Amino acid sequence: MAKRIIISGGGTGGHIFPAIAIANALKKIDAKTEILFVGAKGKMEMEKVPAAGYSIIGLDIQGLQRSSITKNLLLPFKIIKSVMTSLKIIKNFKPDAVVGVGGYASGPLLFAASLKNIPYLIQEQNSYAGMTNKYLAKKAKKVCVAFDNMANFFPADKIVKTGNPVRRESVNIEGKLDEAAAFFELETSKKTILVIGGSLGAGTLNTSMMAGLTQLQEAGIQVIWQTGKYYYKGVIEKFGNQPKDLGIRIFEFLNRMDLAYAMADVIISRAGAGTISELCLIKKPVLLVPSPNVVDDHQTKNAHALINKEAAILISDKHAESELIDQTLKLLANEEQMKLISERIGALGLPNADEQIADEILKIAI
């Protein structure tokens, strides 16, 4: 008999794309599996999940606003309302299991599942678990993780190291260099750096690139630069559409990440858990600039999981504008170091996370 599964969470692409990958893996195992997503109203999952072919219900929920006490006044009421809505969703959908991938909607839905004795699984993406997942793990059947030493946060007997699910189409780069060069109108004979700061963008990466763009041009380095939604207009206003002979390609969003990864010799990136999982499969040298603006400083902790194994170079956010371009050029000039970092980061890749998590979900399903 086909199973009925609820997948909850979202808020950012780092949560949504892995959730969709898990859903696709469940469907691959049994096409009759019925899947319902639960997300947060107004967040990008309300658009991305239906586009992937799945139904979604939105909860009226928000995260804790550390910058404004007044914005948190309604939070307790929204949590209670979201738990009540989640109980109704569970009653109507009658799931065999529930999955939480992180994000605002995961907490109320998993808590409601615990009240109804519905088995649930937590997919913890980061190397440092947040307060909500640590609390919810007490009644979880399984906790799927991507990093070592997670017994510091969860019961050891519940932990399964699966890695984070990634968009398979994004990491399929084998044999695509010529296609990538044609797509971006760049030269394979020149070194290329790829700059990615997430779908919304990263201000520090963008200011660092603006400060060092002339330096990169003078060194003959090609650039594929994803500015993100918030910063694209400002970057274009400053630089315009760069002449093609300068080898600079500026994008708000990269729809062909596989070709961007294929073209890159070195990658500059934030340190979100999902991005790190992709980078481990890409197997190219990386400079990580963790965002300081995330809960519990997750990105710095994620980055150190690679830095401790000499599988990436760390640049702090506050020093990026003065150091990032110099360090990038230094790395590009050191073929031996590039090769070593590529080998070390590649050794950390876990390519079948979506399938493994899907298997664990079906094991706990009633």
Known binder of ligand: residue 12? yes
CB 147 within 8 A of CB 126: yes
Element (H, E) at 159: strand 159-161
Known binder of ligand: residue 222? no
User: What's the CA angle centered on 85, arms 83 and 89, to 5 degrees?
Assistant: 110
In sequence order, what DSSP letters do the residues of 251-300 get, joined into one string?
ESS-S-HHHHHHH-SEEEE---HHHHHHHHHHT--EEE---SSSGGGHHH
Known binder of ligand: residue 188? no
**Is the C-alpha dihedral spanning 239, 241, 245, 250 positive or negative?**
positive
Known binder of ligand: residue 299? yes
Order across the sheet with 248-251: list the strands: 248-251, 222-226, 192-196, 266-269, 286-288, 313-314
**Is the C-alpha dihedral spanning 90, 95, 97, 103 positive or negative?**
negative
Question: Which amino acid appears at position 239 of this protein?
Answer: F
Known binder of ligand: residue 14? yes
Strand partners, 97: 5
Q: Residue 352 is encoded by which pair of tokens?
A: 């079948």
Give the residue numbers of the binding site for UDP-N-acetyl-alpha-D-glucosamine. 12-14, 126, 167, 199, 299
Give the residue numbers of the binding site. 12-14, 126, 167, 199, 299
